[in-house]
Amino acid sequence: MREERRERNKLRIDELNKAKSKEEDALRRKPLAPKPADRTVKAQIAHWTRGSSTVNMFHIEIQYNMHTSQDHNVGCIDIERKALLKLKQGLTNPSNRLSSQVGEDCCKWSGVGCNNITGRINRLDLPNRSSDGLDYSGAIVSAFGFGGEINPSLLVLKYLIYLDLSMNNFGGVQLPSFIGSLEKLKYLDLSSASFGGIIPPNLGNLSGLLYLDLSNNIVEPIGNDLRWLATLSSLKYLILEGVNPAKTTSYWFPTINMLPSLVELHLPFCGPSILPLTLPSINFTSLLVLDLSSNYFNSTIPPWLFNLTELEMLDLTDNSLTGELPDSLGYLKSLRYLHLSDNSFQGSIPKSIGNLTSLEEFYLGWNQISGIIPESLWDLSSLVSLDIYGNTWEGAITEAHFTKLRGLRKVSIGNNSPNISLVFNISFDWIPPFKLRFLYIRSCQLGPKFPTWLINQTKLTKMVLRNAGISDTIPDWFWQLDLQLDNLDVANNQLSGAQFIKIQLFFHC
């Protein structure tokens, strides 16, 4: 998971001078439901909040205010049509994406939405969709994205509620301050559009804004005083991935803490100094999603974070966090996704992990945790993905530990050294209650016999049983499972069998 974010943000990591050198296991890290590199935080929002009523209500609220319909009976207003033409003239359009914007009725133009009662333009949806499924390379953005400048004629569209110019290439021009005069805006997405300069403080005039995404722009780090955010009292979604606050960090969290309606906060790749160790009080108590990944804090988890008891998703991946995981982790009983991988946590997993009964994803890979995996972890019956690889585990895992994990789809367990200290004590005739898609077991004792319980795992697409103490012939039934494996790694075992020899080269075993 982490290397995908690093790949698309590697230039930004270099700018922050916080890049770390670590050999990664790409097979282990590829998530069960990959987050497309081109969609950044948006894909994470969709993944983390599936089934969330807050997301559905957000879209309902936007649509209710727009009254947009394809079957409108009112044509667009002439003055607004002329304003769109001026806006179009200011944009470079290398892929001719705006060629369909012709005709008298601008409400029928691509990317334009109008109120079906008044005919007023209330939606401009002009992201660079050509980059869907692709990366952030300059060639792609230049070939398909808009450039040039945004004409102030945009201000004629006084009833604009929705504005999306993301994934375009405005070549470092100043992010337009006049956008702050579009006072009816509820949705503003200017992410990954190569704007430059400081973030204009008059965006604070958008008091009705519900969604704000300014991620991944080339904004100047010095002068980004974001205290104007405090005026956005209706804001529910704030995404500032890669925005470097530099010398103004002391204002960030106290300011964001003043947003009482905030549901999701995404601040990955913002730098190590954004996280305060103390907050006098917690005001953003509605927060459901908090993403602070890849900031390299080099500190312990601040105690105030465990007061966010409504959190459903917490991502602290890749932050050089230290110390032991506290028992207060168990206060976050609403958590569904907990990502703590690639830190320097020590000690053991607290028994209070068992309080997180809604937990679906638990990622603790690549830390310095040691000891026996607590029994309470195996009581988390909602678990779908479990990744605790890259620590130093001891003791035994039996089939009884998996009894409640019927929904399990991804398992990654193992030690960060070739020494085997964790044993799987599984009976020959065990039938697992789950159907795995991803299995990664490394430097654990599975053998000496090839695990017969795999005969039940017919959904596997990736399987790693590396250095697992297996000394056996891979049975014929394994090759007859019709598995759709795109990765198979059984290296550092003593395996034999005719079929195994045939595929060794293909699978690089």
Alpha helices in 171-248 (DSSP H): none
Task: Check residue 462 and give its pLDDT.
Answer: 96
CA angle 94, 97, 102 (to 5 degrees): 125
Name which of 210, 249, 206, 252 is nearest 227 in CA terms.
252
Q: Which residues contact 251 (CB under 8 A, 6 or more apart)?
A: 225, 226, 227, 245
Among 55-64, 297-306, 381-390, 447-456, where is mean pLDDT lowest? 55-64
Cα 499 from Cα 467, distance rounded (Å)? 20
| Beta strands 162-164 and 121-125, pairing class | parallel
Name which of 460, 458, 468 is nearest 439 in CA terms.
460
- Identity of the highest mean pLDDT range in 114-118, 132-136, 323-327, 485-489: 323-327
Among 17-26, 131-140, 259-268, 492-501, where is mean pLDDT lowest? 17-26
Q: Which amino acid is at 337?
A: Y
| Interval 267-278: pLDDT, tens | 999 888 888 889
Contact status, residue 314 vs residue 335, Cβ threshold 8 Å: yes
- Rounded (10°) CA dihedral 363, 369, 374, 377: -10
Q: Residues 209-224: what's their mean pLDDT?
A: 82
Q: Above 80 in pLDDT, residue 433?
A: yes
Cα 349 from Cα 377, distance rounded (Å)? 9
Cα 281 from Cα 130, distance rounded (Å)? 44
Cα 463 from Cα 450, distance rounded (Å)? 13
Among 228-237, 359-368, 392-401, 497-506, where is mean pLDDT lowest? 497-506
Q: Write down the pTM of the prediction.
A: 0.85
Q: Which amino acid is at 76?
A: C
DSSP H or E segment with residue 505? helix 498-507
Neighbours of 137 (CB within 10 A): 11
Provide the strand spans (E) within 174-223: 187-189, 196-197, 211-213, 218-219
Alpha helices in 246-301 (DSSP H): 249-256
CA distances from residue 266 to 99, 247, 249, 287 in whole angstroms, order as listed: 35, 20, 15, 11
Domain ranges of the chain: 421-508
Among 35-44, 185-194, 362-371, 383-392, where is mean pLDDT lowest? 35-44
Q: Above 80 in pLDDT, residue 139?
A: no
Task: Check residue 8 and give its pLDDT.
Answer: 40
Q: Above 80 in pLDDT, residue 250?
A: no
Cα 440 from Cα 466, distance rounded (Å)? 8
Q: How is residue 412 written in tokens?
A: 């990654």
Contact status, residue 116 vs residue 105, Cβ threshold 8 Å: no
Cα 303 from Cα 32, distance rounded (Å)? 31
DSSP H or E segment with residue 6? helix 2-8
Task: Check residue 244 and give its pLDDT.
Answer: 79
**498 band by pLDDT with thresholds 50, 70 and 90:** low
Q: Which residues contact 424 (CB under 8 A, 6 or more apart)?
A: 396, 397, 398, 441, 444, 445, 446, 451
